[in-house]
Amino acid sequence: MLKYCLKYCNPRLLRRPFPSSLQFPGRDGYSYLSTSLNNHSNRCFSSQSISSNTTVPSEADVIVIGGGIIGTSTAYHLKKLNPDLDVLLLEQNKLTSGTTWHAAGLMVTFGSLSHTSTSWRKYTKSLYSSILPTETTLSTGFKPCGFIELASTPDRVHDLRRVSAFNRHCGIDVRQITPEECLDRFPLLNIDDVLEGYYVPTDGRVNPCDACMSLARGFKDLGGIICENTEVKDFIISNNTVTGVTLSPFSSVAAKKVVNCTGMWSKQIMEKAGIVSPNQAAEHYYLITEKMDNVDPDWPVIEDPQKHVYIRPEGSGLMLGLFEPQGIGWSLDGVSNDFEFGELQPDWERMAPYLETAMSVVPATLEVGAKNFFCGPESFTPDNNPMLGETSVSNLYMASGMNSIGILTGGGVGRTMAHWIDKGYPDCDVTQVDCNRFHPFQNTRKYREERVKETIGMTYLQHYPNKGYSSAIGIKKSPIHSRLEKETVAWRDVSGWAGAMYYADFKPEYGWGKENYHEVWEAEHSAVRTSCGLIDMSFMSKFFVKGVDSGRFLSRLSTANVNGDSDTITYTQWLDSRGKMQADLTVTKLNDTEFLIIATDTQHNHVHLHMLRSIVDESVTVTDVTDSYGYINLQGPRSREVLQSLTDSDVSDENFPFKTSRIINIAETSCRVTRITYCGELGYEIYPSSSTSLSVYDALMSTPSPPKLCGLKSLSSLRLEKGYRDYGHDVDNTDTVVEAGLGFTVEMGRGFVGEDKVREERERNRGGKFIKRMVNVFVPSSSCFLYHGELVLRDGVVVGEVRAGSHGFTVGGAVGLAMLESPEEGVFLNKKYIESGSWEVLVGNDKYECEVSLQPFYDPKNLKIKG
């Protein structure tokens, strides 16, 4: 009946109650008659009018493309940060058209374990609640009615307790409340299966169009120019630098910088500049009920992720928004440029079960009619993170892919983009949102179609720390994949590569404690510590840097001296001019004109682009050879024995010491072998060509006592026992080498980028006056599991959080890397401070005694790696 009522939009039928069970007839024979949202609610349309220019200027300092919440926020913050900039905002249709106009308008600060996202949310709420209304006298429609997230399973309780602790540390007033207290605040709520609620009294909702118009008014009041009905056809690019945009074959606008804020259009417009931007539109649904007599418009926003729904008062009824476990992509071949305030035809059969589950959260919704069952597009990226920053084309920026949280982070994102564009660097950690992280295969139709089904579902699905994406695994395969897949492997996605999580004949069952693969993981970890393990790491990024100036070039980038003896590997960092970290990698000098760079898979494009942009009048070429070479990691006290049995080269400690890299024979092949470790053991990285990788693997596995195959879970636990860093996870672009505990890589006096800042920092820290410092954490408890975001307390005071954690099988407890910050002025994080305090970690609501050390808890004197 519901489907019939909605399709024909008969006012009499729409007021009929929903049946207790939603059984919708088939689609055949019906034609959908859209009821525009403005016919049943004025929420989605602003009463505010912002006039736009009728004449487009011929030039500007910065052009912002897109008049939704992100475009107007970016433009507003640019003018506010630098009033002297000439900023032009171009919108192909009308302001708010696209997705902003139909957004649900939730303004929620709760829910993230990211400092960046949490700070964006907090600032955005202050922008909507006080800053914009004061500056523009226009209301954003912000209503601090409160927000409650419901937990109805033990795993969800554990998850949200962790998030709550982190959010409180970030200054958010999160209150853990009982089911009865949830009912008190939302009296129609069904609390039969609710275990706990997480309540932020000052969160709430906002009118998306009013917020966008207020930003536009603020931008214009600051001297900005808005041109609606102005479609950007293409970019003007010269020497890989954007210099403007074309509006038609005979019209263009010159600019020093251009910012793409076009949301679901971003993929197709960025393709014009050859940039990968796999932002895919997907169907998003919400239902708006008829009038409900008992609804109070001041009730809080409710989220019940277990039932895939958010609920809030809407007019005199309720809105029920859905994030189903498996979404569906829309307009996979591109979005029409004239799609403005459009609706999509709902898929009744697919959505009926989800809607019925959602309505069970507030059973009274089954007793009233529906004004609209709305379907509109929202866009999602492959990893559910935004795409921000300067692209591979100089001075061409983008801010898109907000994954349905554009309204609640829009202010913060706009402020960060303005800082990035005007100052040349971001004001926060952006390692997870860098727009350059994607690869060409992710732009393909098939990939986007498969991945978007999962990304929309990930919005509300239970988030487990070890669970990754299951779609589109193995777009890329290691040269030895055909051998590994004959084993029983739990595969996971590693930047498009099929990576082995562990080797066993069962699928992982995820949770917050000992998962079902715990013993397998322990066996692989122990094999590396006591014998020999083989880890396929062919997914790692590999680059050749060649040319007569290559040594001088890399020496200028690197904190360590990488231009010493040939056949030597050097661990180093790359900094920016502010002394902040940009990369953490190894450089192997092959000869005076050739070097090999090894970086992580997640930082592939960032490292590549950093090198290309750093070349200044130097004879240097950079070549990506990731796919041309395998990477077989042989680690453990028996690794030398295994390797020596296959080569006539002398790999003894005397002839092949730590940090040596040479081409040697292995069985019937020859390849580069480097003595280095990321596990903290005697070990070797073997780099056979893709065509000879199988031969090398077969030779290794045919030795009398072959190495044990080990997965990436063991790699993670091994490196964290040893305290090895991972850029983009536990260190990022807001850290310095000194703060990260990597000062030992620095060789001063060579004039490397950022050296003056390192010198200044060392001078400030003289005498142990550290105010920020990374430490190793060890919790000697079998019931404690560290992942990320757990708080670290000294004498009961929070002084930092765990950035990366795992289980340390060798040391017998949880291990992690934590960044500490001084709790007050004049308190310094020196050795005495660390050794004299009483330390704990807070995991949700539970505290565990722990040990904190500047040195790793496994082999602090590096005796193992010296073999």
Buried b (16+ CB within 10 A) or exposed e, 306-316: bbbbbbbbbbe
Residue 52 — very low, low, confident or very high, per pLDDT cuts 50/70/90?
A: confident
pLDDT given for residue 31 in this prediction? 23
Q: Which of 313, 309, 310 is nearest to 143 (CA)?
A: 313
Q: Based on the number of CB atoms within 10 Å of its own CB, is 245 exposed (0-12), middle (13-18) or buried (19 or more)?
A: buried
| The pair of three-digit structure tokens given for residue 368, joined into one six-digit string | 């009233």
**Which domains are seen in the chain, by residue range?**
541-628 (3.30.70.1400), 767-867 (2.40.30.110)
Give residue 32's pLDDT band: very low, low, confident or very high (50, 70, 90): very low
Match 């088939």 to its residue by tokens: 26
Per DSSP, what are the bridge partners of residue 843? 846
Question: Is the pLDDT at 140 greater than 50, yes or no?
Answer: yes
pLDDT, tens digit, 9 for 90 and up, residues 776-796: 999 999 999 999 999 999 999
Mapping DSSP onto H, E and C, the string for 599-639 reads ECCCCHHHHHHHHHHHCCCCCCEEEECHHHECCEEEECCCH
The pLDDT tens digits for 730-761 are 999 999 999 999 999 999 999 999 999 999 99
Q: Mean per-residue pLDDT for 551-573? A: 98
Contact 701, 707 (CB under 8 A): yes
CA atoms within 13 A on the CB side of 292: 26
How does the average pLDDT of the chain come out, rounded? 93
pLDDT in tens, 396-408: 999 999 999 999 9
- For the question of whether the overall pTM of this predicted structure is more than 0.85, the answer is yes
CB within 8 Å of 801: residues ≥ 6 apart: 166, 169, 789, 790, 791, 792, 818, 819
- Strand pairing class (175-177; 196-200): antiparallel
Q: What tokens were used for 308? A: 């895939």
Are the beta carbons of 213 and 46 closer than 8 angstroms? yes
Partners of 317 in beta bridges: 314
CA–CA distance, 172 with 203 (Å, rounded to integer):
10
Instruction: Work out the pLDDT band at 53, boundaries 50, 70, 90.
Output: confident
Q: How confident is the model at residue 28 (pLDDT cuts 50, 70, 90)?
A: very low
Residue 37: pLDDT over 90: no
User: Rounded distance, CA 789 to CA 118, Å?
Assistant: 12
Cβ burial of 830 (10 Å; 0-12, 13-18, 19+) is: middle
Report residue 10's pLDDT band, with 50, 70 and 90 as the boundaries.
very low
pLDDT at 188 over 90: yes
Range 271-282 burial, b when 16+ CB lie within 10 A, else e? eebebbbbbbbb
Confidence of residue 667 (pLDDT cuts 50, 70, 90): confident
Q: How confident is the model at residue 50 (pLDDT cuts 50, 70, 90)?
A: confident
**CA separation for the pair 588, 660 (Å, rounded):** 9
| Residue 628 phi, psi dihedral angles, 5° rounding | -90, -15
- Structure confidence at residue 46 (pLDDT): 58
The encoded tokens of residue 85 equal: 């900039």
- The CA–CA distances, whole Å, from 225 to 53, 269, 845 equal 7, 22, 51
DSSP label of 642: H
Binned at pLDDT 50, 70 and 90, residue 47 comes out as low
Mean pLDDT of 367-384: 95
pLDDT attached to residue 867:
80
Measured CA to CA, the distance from residue 662 to residue 672 in angstroms comes to 5
Of the candidates 407, 387, 412, the residue with the CA atom closest to the CA atom of residue 212 = 407
The three-class DSSP label of residue 835 is helix
pLDDT tens digits, residue range 830-846? 999 999 999 999 999 99
User: Is residue 16 very low, low, confident or very high in pLDDT (cuts 50, 70, 90)?
Assistant: very low
Helix axes 115-126, 406-423, angle to 10 degrees: 100
In this structure, the strands spanning 147-151 and 301-304 are: parallel
Average pLDDT score over residue span 199-207: 98
Q: Is the pLDDT of residue 11 over 60?
A: no
pLDDT at residue 82 tops 90: yes
- Per residue in 319-373, pLDDT (tens digit) is 999 999 999 999 999 999 999 899 999 998 999 999 999 999 999 999 999 999 9
Are 208 and 103 contacting, i.e. CB atoms less than 8 angstroms apart? yes
Q: By CB neighbour count within 10 A (0-12 exposed, 13-18 middle, 19+ buried), where does 722 fall?
A: buried
Predicted confidence at residue 45, as pLDDT, reads 53
Q: Provide the CB-side half-sphere exposure for 717 (13 A, CA).
A: 29
Q: SS in 3 state form for 267-307? A: HHHHHHHCCCCCCEEEEEEEEEECCCCCCCCCCCEEEEHHH
Tens-place pLDDT, residues 585-620? 999 999 999 999 999 999 999 999 999 999 999 999
SS3 for 751?
coil
Contact (Cβ atoms closer than 8 angstroms) between residue 314 and residue 106: no
| 40 confidence band (pLDDT: 50, 70, 90) | very low
Please compute the mean of the pLDDT values over residues 636-665 and round it to a whole number: 98
